[in-house]
Structure 1
Amino acid sequence: MSIKKPQTPQVRSYDEWCTLMRQYEAENTTIKAFCQQRKIVESTFYRWLSVLRNDGVISQPSQSNAVQSEVPPKSSDFLDIGAINLNQSSSLELRLDLGDGVVLTLSRR
């Protein structure tokens, strides 16, 4: 019996993401289909889409383009929780107000 190793995610450079985004813009497909064809995690695609739009590399979506309209609204707010260096005795509480009275609370005690 052989044991398969889990696949390691492909690490792409900034330039590779620029190329992928230009390919996406040139194709008439959905983000979901584009990501499935290239084995890209959709959340990673959306993150890079946001980064490259903020950098001006990728154009902002037009209201008339149905394929691009599936992209969530642009947000420059990003919190990398992995960057918070906490030792084992530290506690953390993170509250996110999602609107309409919905609050998400994450805590570590």
Structure 2
Amino acid sequence: MTRATATNNKWRRRSRQEWETVFARFAASGLGIEPFCAREGLSESSFRRWRSLLGEPSTQPAAPAMEATGFVEAGTLKLGGTGRLELRLDLGDGVILHLSRG
């Protein structure tokens, strides 16, 4: 008998905790989604939906912790005679920060 049971031809509902247990079994199984769902008697669409709702566990190693650094003295800017200052920072992904004084 499969882990999913049918009552009057309707699949029983699983709690969030039960789905988390299913995903733990899936991760340990080494199977793809289709064979795992067939073995467990699960609907692939329900499996995929719940996996997207609960979030897929990361398969990438965690980034190493950044070493704490102290304050770095950057000095002061000599403005010359204009008193005007412009700073433009390209933050990536099309975002540009533009600061001006004067």
TM-score by length of 1: 0.45
* Higher helix proportion: 1
TM-score by length of 2: 0.47
